[in-house]
Structure 1
């Protein structure tokens, strides 16, 4: 890009110069830029996500425009599980709320009381109707992803969260519920945040019997 700017400046200052020459040089350089971008490997894309999540390339912005500027997210089973959970649990939330739900899932992965994998946490209790941890996995309805643009954006959130980025939004929360309900455990779990239509809670080390 620096070379492109320098070349254009030099061509502008050089006399005489034809419009055809400028157009031809510019078109050629744009084609080279596009060819270079097309050669980005999966490892290079992963590296970009890691750099963004670690703060090396600016800070995380909880906006759609920030996510749309990132490359397509690719990955394995953990990425798929987390992306689907965000889609079925939080696709109607704000971007910040979607990051917060992802934090809860990964906080559980780090908590010895829960399975130690993303897919294990999400599917805990699945098979018993309405006895699972995340309702969409056991409500008896088929999960169908119809909003592809939304899903692609949520995959980018999942990719960032799986790249060891910090989790500052929910302060270690392992539970959440919508503001429309009030489960019994919410009376004894300390609330750590309210983001969008969700309250977030951290599971206490010991729950009082009183």
Structure 2
């Protein structure tokens, strides 16, 4: 489009200059000085029509069409409508998935099914944040099943109870949240938290970590960054 505007402007300027020069010669022969301009314009438009007739349709369309807007390349798009409320959860399809999905859904169900939708999504954030940290296993199942020092990272793994799903509604909800988080729902609830505990306890590590938020019965923390100077 800018090329067409430039071309048109040049054409009009050329017509005006040509008309001006021609008017100096013919003005004494006519009472209407625009006669010369009309004649010059007609001649130039005829030339333009002839020239355009030799341009292919595809080329002409490319000339007059505005340039296509470039869009930045991005990775997987997040689930932008993840409001984590009852209407949102009701709109989600029945969730299924692989072993990683099963491990995440299981953790949400056994560790946080009594929490709100946001509370469960926050626990999912912690697990996924750990997966991305070099301090923890690089898979969801690895994070959920991790143990050490005589204890488990997630209490349901060490409570001695059979991991049997007895509440189908709670499982469906946990599964939908797990699926949404794996599909790219934004992790904006816990500000990068890698730890959490209930209000009923006060573990020693909580004194050293940065508290990021409270959601329901859980308090969330971000692990301090360890540098060489530490």
- The TM-score normalised by the length of structure 1 is 0.69
1:104 paired residue among 112, 126, 129:
126
Task: Give the structure 1 partner of residue 69 of structure 2.
Answer: none
Q: Note the 1:41-52 alignment, pairs <5 A.
A: none
Number of equivalent positions: 152
Structure 1 stretches of 5 or more lacking a match?
A: 1-49
Shift of 1:54: 3.1
Q: 3-state SS of the aligned residue for 1:168? A: coil
| In structure 1, distance between residues paired with 2:207 and 2:124 | 23
Task: Give the structure 1 partner of residue 79 of structure 2.
Answer: 54
1:192 paired residue among 205, 212, 220:
212
Change in Cα spacing, 1:66 to 1:54, as seen in structure 2 (3 Å) is closer
The superposition leaves residues 71-113 of structure 1 with CA deviations (integer Å, 9 ceiling, x where unpaired) of 1111110111000100011000011111000000000000000
| In structure 2, distance between residues paired with 1:175 and 1:78 | 20
- The TM-score normalised by the length of structure 2 is 0.63
Over aligned residues, Cα RMSD in angstroms? 1.8
The superposition leaves residues 117-144 of structure 1 with CA deviations (integer Å, 9 ceiling, x where unpaired) of 0000000017x8x611011112222111
| In structure 2, distance between residues paired with 1:121 and 1:91 | 19
Shift of 1:202: 0.3
| In structure 2, distance between residues paired with 1:169 and 1:162 | 15
| In structure 1, distance between residues paired with 2:120 and 2:79 | 19
Task: Give the structure 2 partner of residue 113 of structure 1.
Answer: 135
Q: Does 1:133 align with 2:158?
A: no
Task: Give the structure 1 partner of residue 197 of structure 2.
Answer: 177
The superposition leaves residues 159-203 of structure 1 with CA deviations (integer Å, 9 ceiling, x where unpaired) of 011112220000000000001110000001000011111000000
Q: Which runs of 4+ in 1 moved over 4 A?
A: none
